[in-house]
Each structure stands twice: as structure tokens, then as C-alpha cells.
Amino acid sequence: MYFVMDLYLIVLCLLVIYIKDSLQGPHEKRLLNNLLATYNTLERPVANESDPLEVKFGLTLQQIIDVEWNDYNLRWNDSEYGGVRDLRITPNKLWKPDVLMYNSADEGFDGTYHTNIVVKNNGSCLYVPPGIFKSTCKIDITWFPFDDQHCEMKFGSWTYDGNQLDLILNSDDGGDLSDFITNGEWYLIGMPGKKNTITYQCCPEPYVDITFTIQIRRRTLYYFFNLIVPCVLISSMALLGFTLPPDSGEKLTLGTYFNCIMFMVASSVVLTVVVLNYHHRTADIHEMPPWIKSVFLQWLPWILRMGRPGRKITRKTIILSNRMKELELKERSSKSLLANVLDIDDDFRHPCSGISGSTTAIGGSVFTRLTTVEEQNVSSGCSHKDLHHILKELQFITNRMKKADEEQELISDWKFAAMVVDR
């Protein structure tokens, strides 16, 4: 209820703002027509072709990129257009620098959302596309868990060289960290930026890029209490055992105690791995062997007094279940009514005129009903081929539903086996 009220409030505010800005609609419309009438998105917006276009580039660590440049063709006198000083134009109608992240690991390569470009009357353009970037990063775990990691994000133009497009850092401090949301595992040290001018082997022209280095440090509190402290305590107790006097006779007893503790901890870790492995198994990857069904789904739950909803596990049910597995049921008796109908699909391939003669040969009240209906529809030109296709589709649907039920049941069996091992 509260969510709906908040949503209505936001929509109302947006409508009010839109109505207020629409007072300058005619002037803004005329301005857009004059600016975009002869505008070419492929033309680099500079007054002199030999001058490079300066693009200010900044990065905010909350998934936002700031790109600013000055478009020579998008300048106007605001007094001639009713005081309109800025416009919001879709990026496909304007020229924009093709700045991409060189070391991107994203499938789409460009992970930004293309928002409107804010154009001011002096020609300055502000492009702030939010995005989620995935980059390659070399991890050094030499000093784990007291390690620092440095991940670089390299941005640059893909087609314009340094003589045509010059990237400038928006801030000397690097990226903006004011809106950064802290992480529970990593501590952000800083994000400095550096401008590089590189000449590649393929091209003689220099190319400009800006590289931001994200410096993070691992928070060691979790690993300190769960990894370092237990290891230090166990090692310290083992060393203290050597300080006992030889004639006390307790060295062997204390060593045996430490070995038992280490064995229990190791066994607990192994069983935890087994429990997690069983719990996350699926029918597509693992098939439950018969001995696991017998041990972890029948005997151990009965011994541990564990039950499953809708299933009562007793000694009698276990014995009956094992006996039923040894019996080989005929395939015909396990088929559904629909499967029996599909087994005689060859009888439906003859012309409609021959249906009445095959009614007795089919046998069964259901099949007699089917043939009777067919006899009534002979005059209307019924098609047994269509009926055969319908039955095939029904068989496919029932097989899919049956397979889905079997897979879900197998997943439930694995989860119950994990509960038994955990018990």
C-alpha cells in the first residue's frame, strides 16, 4: 500500500515538472529545428579540422561516467529563443565520442545505458551514461588475507587518435568516491586517474587514454577470527606440549587430545562439504545410486527418527520398497490411457470409410467411444492424421510434465539425503 502511494507521488511530481517546463515549448521546438536541420552526427564538431576536440572525462564509482565536450555546431543566443539555455537531446541525433573501456570483460563490450545529452547554449555537452562495467583484473594473493589489489579500468576513443580527440581528466584526484557504497569484504583505498599517450604498432598516430586504478584492501576481520585465530591456537597448544616436564607423563595424553581435536575438525569440514554437495545436486548432473537411496532415504532416517512430509518411514515400508524394486512390472501395465491410445495409432491411418469395421478389433469402451465419434464425423470430412498429431503433442506434454515431476522429486531426495548426513 505504501509503495503504491510513493509511486503515485513520484509520477505526480514528474508531471508537474513537465508542465512547468512546457511553457517554453514553441521556442525550444524552433531551436531544435534550427540546430538539427543541417546537423551531421558523423561530423567532428570543431571549427578547424586540424584542431583536436577536448573531451573531459570523469568517473564516479557508483556506476556513472561523466563525459563533457564542446560542440561547435550547437551554439545559440538564448535571447533569440525565449531564454532557452539548455536542451536534452537523444544521443543518436548528436555526435558523441566513442569512448570505450579497452579491458572490458562484458559480453556486450559496452555496459553503459545511453541517456540524453545535456546541451547548453555555449555548445558544451554533458553526457552522463550510467553503467555496470566488467573488466579484467590480475589478482595477487601472495599476502592473503592481508592483500591489496589494484584493478585498472582503461578508457579511450576507439577510432579517433590524439590529434583529433584529446581526453582530459575531469579531476586531478581521479574518480569521484563521494557516492560510493562501502563493501563488507573490501575497503576502498582510492581511485587515482592517469592520462596516457601511446603509439601502437598498427598506427603512427598517438592515441590518448585515461586509466583509473581502483585500489582496494581486503577486510581481514572475518578471516582473522575464522582462519588465523584457530590455526594459531592449535599451533600454540602443540608447542606448549613440548614445555611439559618429561617425567610428568602427560605429553602423550595431551598429544592424543590434540590429534583427536584436529581429527574432529577435519571430519566436520569433510562432512560439511558432503552436505553442501548433496544439497545442490540436480537431476541433470547427478543420478542417485540405489545404495544411497537405501541408506540415506530409508534406513538412516528410520534409525534417526526422521520423517518426510507425506511419507511415513517404517521398517515394514522399507522391506516392501525393497521387494517392489525386485519385481519386473510389465511395460503395458505401467502405461497411461493416453499411451495405450498412442500404441494403436496405426489403426487410425486408414480412410474414414473403414472406421466402422475396425471398431470391434480395437477393443475397450474408451476406444469404442472414440470410433463412434469418428463415425459421426465422417460426413464432415474428419482427418485421422490431425488426431494422430494431437495425440503425439499430448504425449510430448505429458512426458515433459512427468520428467519435470521426476526431476523435482530427485532434487528433493538429494536435499533430504543432505539433511540426513547433517543430522
Grade residue 362 by pLDDT with cuts at 50, 70 and 90: very low
Residue closest to 220 by CA, chosen among 138, 140, 148 = 148
| Average pLDDT, integer, range 287-299 | 79
pLDDT of 179 > 90? The answer is: no
Grade residue 3 by pLDDT with cuts at 50, 70 and 90: very low
**Which residues does residue 151 pair with via DSSP β-bridges, in sequence order?**
214
- Residue 301 neighbours by CB distance under 10 Å: 21
Q: In angstroms, rounded to a whole number, what is the distance separating the alpha carbons of residues 345 and 360?
A: 15
Q: What is the pLDDT of residue 62?
A: 61
| Grid cell of 309 as nine digits | 512430509
Q: In angstroms, rounded to a whole number, what is the distance separating the alpha carbons of residues 415 and 306?
A: 13
Q: In angstroms, rounded to a whole number, what is the distance separating the alpha carbons of residues 419 and 415?
A: 6
Which tens digit of pLDDT belongs to each residue from 127-145?
988 888 888 888 888 888 8
Which tens digit of pLDDT belongs to each residue from 379-408?
444 577 788 888 888 888 988 888 888 888
Q: In angstroms, rounded to a whole number, what is the distance separating the alpha carbons of residues 138 and 150?
A: 8
Q: In angstroms, rounded to a whole number, what is the distance separating the alpha carbons of residues 314 and 319?
A: 9
Grade residue 338 by pLDDT with cuts at 50, 70 and 90: very low
Which tens digit of pLDDT belongs to each residue from 37-65?
888 887 888 888 788 888 877 767 765 67
pLDDT of 337 > 50? The answer is: no
CB 302 within 8 A of CB 315: yes
Q: What is the DSSP string of 221-241?
A: HHHIIIIIHHHHHHHHHHHHG
DSSP, collapsed to helix, strand or coil, labels residue 1 as coil
Grade residue 310 by pLDDT with cuts at 50, 70 and 90: low
Residue closest to 149 by CA, chosen among 139, 157, 158, 163 = 139
pLDDT of 2 > 80? The answer is: no
DSSP, collapsed to helix, strand or coil, labels residue 245 as coil
